[in-house]
Amino acid sequence: MVLEKIIDIISEQLEIDKSVIKESSTLEEDLGAGSLDLIDLAMSIEDEFGIELSDDVIEDLSTVGDLAKYVAAHKK
């Protein structure tokens, strides 16, 4: 559930087809997310799941799977 919703958000924000986004995809290298993209993603994920993602945290989460695990562990 969390992974699928995160993939939806990434797909919409980065304008990438969902079929391209895998759990092992890296946000920056594979999906081409820049620093502003990561900030936008963080804000969208915060709104969707009711959590806070600091800049340090988002920089440490390199793959879609890492992001999904973090959100699942911290969502309200």
What does the pLDDT average to over 60-67? 94
pLDDT at 36 over 90: yes
Instruction: State residue 55's pLDDT score.
Output: 81
Instruction: State residue 16's pLDDT score.
Output: 96
Check residue 32 and give left, alpha or beta (phi > 0: left; psi -120 to 50: alpha): left
**Euclidean distance between CA atoms 33 and 15, whole angstroms:** 11
**Cross-strand pairs, 26:** 63
Banded pLDDT at 33 (limits 50, 70, 90): very high
Question: For the chain, what are the domain ranges?
Answer: 2-74
- Nearest Cα to Cα of residue 49 among 23, 71, 30: 71
The CATH number of domain 2-74 is 3.40.50.970: no
Instruction: State residue 49's pLDDT score.
Output: 95
Average pLDDT, rounded, for the chain? 94
| Helices 35-49 & 64-74 angle (0-180, nearest 10) | 30
